[in-house]
Structure 1
Amino acid sequence: MKCEELGFKLQSSSHQELWSLDSDVVFLNHGSYGACPKAVLAVQQSLRSQLEQDPVNFFGRKWEPLLDNARSKLAAFIHTDIQDLVFVPNATTGVNSVLRSLHFAPDDEILTTNHEYNACRNALNFIASRTGARVVVAQIPFPVESPQQIIAAVLEKVSPKTRLALIDHITSQTGLIFPIAQLVKELQARGVETLVDGAHAPGMISLNMQEIGATYYSGNCHKWLSAPKGAAFLYVQRDKQAEIHPLTISHGANSPRTDKSRFQLEFDWTGTDDPTAFMCVPEAIAFMGSLLPGGWIELMQRNHQLVIQARQLLCTTLQIQPPCPAEMIGSMAVVPMPVSLANQSHIWLHDELFDQFGIQVQVIPWTESPGILMRISAQIYNTLEQYEYLATALKYCMKQN
C-alpha cells in the first residue's frame, strides 16, 4: 500500500537531496545508523583515492596529520583537550576498550541501568563472568516523570562495593537524555568512576566534556554528527589514560616516540584499516553546521522541535500521554504502542510499516508493559507530513488487529 492510497502525496524536504536516501522510503530512523551527506562522502572518496594511489606515502606522510586535524576539530566541537581524545570505530568499541582495560575483583560491583544498550550490557556481562564482579542494575521506570527519578534510582543502587558506573547519556531504547553531569557529580562524590555511553549525543545535543566531568566517555560521530560509518571517539581523563588500552595491541605499545602520549600512540594505530571515516569528521561538522543560519545550535533546536511535534501527533493518534517531559528528549522520541499493536511482535510491526507503507522507523521490544515501543528520529531532511503519514499507517495497522 502506497501513501497515495491513504490520501498522502509526500513532498521531499529541500534538504533530502543532500543525502543518498531512497526517495521511495519515508526514513524516520536516523538514530540507528545515521546517514552521511553526499558532500561528506565525496570527501571520503577523495581521501580513499589518495590512499590507494600510494598507500605507503599516504600512511607514511599524510595519515597522521589528517588524523590529528580531525581530532583537533572534534575536540573543539565537544569542548575538550585534544590530548584526551582518540578515535575508535564505534562507541561500543570505546566502552569495551575501557571495560577490558580495567581490573575488577570478585567483590566489585559495576552499576548500570535497565535502559543500557544491549551490546554494552553484554560487554558488562562478559567482564563480570571473567572477573567475578557483579553487575547491579538500577531500575528506571518508563514512562518517567522527571530527571530526578533517574538520579534517585541510580544512587539508590550505589554501595561501598560500587567500582564503576556505566551510564547512557541518551538511551537507545527509550530516547531519554539522562542528567549526566549531575549523575557524574553525585557518583564521583561517592567514589565511583563513570563510563558514559554517549553513542547518540554528538550532534544531537551540545556536548561539553569539561562540564560533564566523566572519567570515560565514548560517542559516535556517524549518527547525529553524520560522519561516515566507522567514526567514533573515546575520551579518557588525563590521569587515567595510562590504564586504558585498545582492544588490539599493536606498534604503539612499544613506540619510542615521546611527542605523543602512549594512550594516543596505541589507539591511533591498531593495524592497517581504512581511516578515512575519522578524517571526514571535520567536513561533517562543517557541513551540518552550514545548513541553517544559526549553525549547529539552530539545527539541534529545529530537530528537537520537530520530534516534539511528531511525538504529540502520534500520542494524540494513539490516545496516550507523552511518556516523558519534552526537555528529556533531543532529536529522538519514543512512544509506547497500544495493546492492539503490542500483542504483535516488534518485527511484525516494523516489517508491516516498511513493506506496506514504505516507512523506515525503529520498533523496539521492551521488557515492561506495553511490551513494544516505537522510536522516531528527526533530522533536517524530515518533515512533519512524514509523521502524519506514519500516524495514518498506524491507525490502519490497528484496524487489522
Structure 2
Amino acid sequence: MGFGVNKIKGSYKNKLYIFLYSIYYVFAFFMFVLAPTSFHGILPELNQIIISWSILSITILIGIMWFSTFNTGHLIFVLAIFAYLTVITIISNYYDANGRFSLARIAPIVCFLLFTLLNFKINISIRLTKFFVHFFMIIFIIWNYLIIVGNSFIENYTISNYTQLYQEATSNMFIKKRPIMSFGIYTFASLFYFLFFFINKSFWEITRKKIYMIYMILLLVVNVLLVSNTAAIFSLIMAYYIYRSIKKPFFKVLMVILIIISVFLLFANFNLSEYYLESLNSESNGFRGRYTDYGTLNTNLEYIDNYFFIGFNIIDGLTYSDSGYIVYYTMGGILLIITMYFCLYKFLKHNIPNNYLYILIPILIFEIALPVIIYYKFIYASIFFIITMKAIENYRINKSC
C-alpha cells in the first residue's frame, strides 16, 4: 500500500515539475518574442531597466535551481571572471578618475555568466514546441507582410512597443520597410530568424512535413529583405542548409532555380541591390563604419592605448555596442574575450552536444556586428531555443528506438 501511495505521489510530483518547466518555456518565448521593449516609442527609464534585468536574473536563477544540473567547477570559473573584472575596474579608476562604475555594465555580464551555468536535463512535450513554432511563424508571416506593404498600424505599433538600442533605431527600419517583426533592428532580427530557421530545419529532418520546409524558405526570403551585411551572411547559410536538406536531385535543381528567381524579383522590386551596396560601403555603419580608422570602435582602441581596460566602468565617448569583441576587449582585454566565448561554448556543448557548432559559429560571426550574447533578449531566446532543441532530440531518440 505504501509503495502505491509513494508511486502516485511521485507521479504527481513529476507531472507538476514538467508543468512548471513548460510554464518556464512559455515565459521565455513571451519575453523573447512578444515582451515590449519601449512604451509609446520611448525607451525605458532607469527603474524600468533595473526591473527588466531583475526579472531576467530571477528567470536564470530559477532555471539553475529547479531545472538544471549544477556544475561547481563552472561556478568557480564564473566567480573568478567576476573577481577579475572587479580588479580591472579598480585599476581603471586609478588610471582615469573619470570612470564611473555602472550597473549597466555589470548586469549584462553577470546575467550572461550565470546563464551559462544552465544545463537543462528534462524534456517537455514535443507538441508544445510544435505549437509555439507554428504560433511564431503565423505572427512572423502576418507582422512582416504588413511591414513590407507599408501598413501604418503595424508601423506605429512596432515603433511604439519595440523600439530598441536608441530612440530612432527602430523607426529608421521602416524607411526601407525592413521586416523586423518585434526585434527592433535588422541585426537582431536576422539572428533570431536564424534560430527559428534551425528549429524548423530540425523539425523537417525528423518529420519530413512540407510545412517546415515552407517555413525555412519564408525565413530565408524575409532575412534577405532585412538588407544588412549580417543578413547577407545568414541568408547564405540558410540557403545552404535548405539545399542540403533536399535529397532528390530534381528538387535540388528546382529549389536553386526558384531561389534565383525569387532573389531576382526581390532585388528588382525592392531596390535591394542598392540597399546592400549602401550597407557594404557605408562609413556610418556596417563593417567600414566599425572597424576602419575612422570607425566607431577606433576610439575604444585609442583609449586603451593611453589608459587601461575599463572593467565595469563607463567612460564618456567610448562605444559599448557595434562589436562584441571590442566591447569585451575594452572591458577586460583578450582574457575576457576568451572567457566569454569559452562560457558560451560550454553552455552550447552541454545543452546541444550534437548541434552546438552550427549555432556557436553563427553567433561568433554575429558578434562582429553587435555584442548580442549580453543582450537580455538573446538569453531568453537561448533558453527557448535550447529547450526546443532538447525536445526535438528526445523525440528523435524515442522515434528511432
Structure having the higher helix fraction is: 2
Same fold, judged at TM 0.5 (above) = no
TM-score between the two structures when normalised by the length of structure 2: 0.29
Structure having the higher strand fraction is: 1
TM-score between the two structures when normalised by the length of structure 1: 0.29
